């Protein structure tokens, strides 16, 4: 009976690392950071222009509700986009409707069979976030009103700027170390950065519009479900796509 070697996952395969690979990694990382150092302030103004155009069209306020401000990070001045919009408080029927919906989803999660565990956990997470949103508005109404702009727009825009700076370093650690053609490495990072450049203002405007269409009750659920998670999922998809270009393990041998 012949034995067959199990194919080793390419992520577990050992590759020969030389000083040329280290030099290439550092050059790519520094090149992307230099581009960001020049382009980030321009990008903040473009984001502000796009959101300033969208704000009145979405009914979120006038274009003056979007502006570029200078803040400090570890003593270094950086430009960021800041927004202003109004989200109405919930009416009585909205509060009780949200409570019944959250409790209904939680109850449904206990009725479903264990074969549907992903759906069960999803329902419980949504229900729990809904309950937290209800309680936070009921007992901390001032906090809910004052933080809505920061949660649903400003934090998204700040997150996008931070991810733009972090993405080249993350790719250097988990993608550039594999023997992928250098053009594929550059394309991977550029694709991830382009995804952020295009999607972040769209995401911020969408969450702000959704919150205004409903009430302050949805602020926390929207932020927890649709702020970091979509961006992380998109970046993982891009990483997986370009990782597929890494050489497949050979059959047999170590």
Task: List the beta strands (DSSP E) in 161-246.
Answer: none
Mean pLDDT of the 71-81 span: 85
**Bridge partners, 244 (sequence order):** none
Write the DSSP symbol of residue 246.
Answer: S
CA distance 140 to 232: 30
Contacts 24+ apart (CB under 8 A), 76-82: 78/40, 78/161, 79/40, 79/41, 79/44, 79/45, 80/44, 80/154, 80/157, 80/158, 80/161, 81/44, 81/47, 81/48, 81/51, 81/154, 81/157, 82/149, 82/154
pLDDT in tens, 177-233: 888 888 999 999 999 999 999 999 999 999 999 888 888 888 888 888 888 889 999
**Bridge partners, 76 (sequence order):** 73
Mean pLDDT of the 98-111 span: 88
Write the DSSP symbol of residue 88.
Answer: P
Q: Model pTM?
A: 0.80
Mean pLDDT, the chain, rounded, equals 84
For residue 198, what are the CA distances in angstroms to 113, 153, 166, 182? 41, 15, 17, 24
Out of 135-139, 144-148, 163-167, which region has the weakest mean confidence (pLDDT)?
144-148
Mean pLDDT of the 113-138 span: 83
CA distance 63 to 56: 6
> Residue 55 has which token pair?
């704000």
Write the DSSP symbol of residue 114.
Answer: G
The model's confidence at residue 149, banded by pLDDT at 50, 70 and 90, is low
In the three-class reduction of DSSP (H, G, I as helix; E, B as strand; rest coil), residue 70 is classed as: strand
Instruction: Describe the chain by its helix, strand, coil percentages, rounded to 5.
Output: 70, 5, 20
């Amino acid at each position: 009976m012949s034995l067959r070697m199990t194919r080793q996952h390419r992520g577990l395969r050992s590759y020969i690392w030389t000083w040329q690979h280290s030099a290439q990694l550092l050059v790519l990382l520094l090149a992307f950071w230099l581009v960001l150092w020049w382009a980030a302030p321009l990008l903040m103004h473009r984001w502000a222009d796009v959101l300033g155009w969208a704000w009145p069209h979405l009914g979120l306020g006038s274009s003056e509700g979007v502006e570029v401000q200078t803040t400090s990070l570890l003593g270094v001045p950086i430009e960021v986009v800041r927004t202003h919009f109004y989200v109405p408080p919930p009416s009585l029927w909205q509060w009780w409707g949200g409570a019944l919906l959250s409790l209904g989803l939680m109850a449904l999660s206990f009725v479903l069979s264990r074969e549907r565990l992903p759906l069960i956990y999803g329902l419980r997470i949504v229900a729990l976030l809904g309950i937290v949103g209800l309680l936070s508005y009921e007992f901390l109404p001032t906090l809910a009103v004052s933080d809505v702009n920061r949660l649903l727009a400003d934090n998204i825009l700040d997150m996008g700027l931070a991810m733009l700076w972090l993405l080249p370093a993350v790719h250097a650690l988990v993608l550039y170390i594999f023997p992928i053609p250098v053009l594929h490495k550059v394309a991977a990072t550029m694709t991830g950065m382009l995804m952020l450049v295009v999607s972040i203002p769209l995401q911020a405007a969408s969450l702000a519009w959704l919150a205004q269409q409903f009430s302050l009750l949805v602020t926390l659920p929207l932020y927890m479900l649709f702020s970091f998670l979509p961006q992380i999922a998109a970046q993982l998809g891009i990483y997986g796509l370009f990782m597929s270009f890494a050489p497949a393990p050979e059959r047999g041998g170590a």
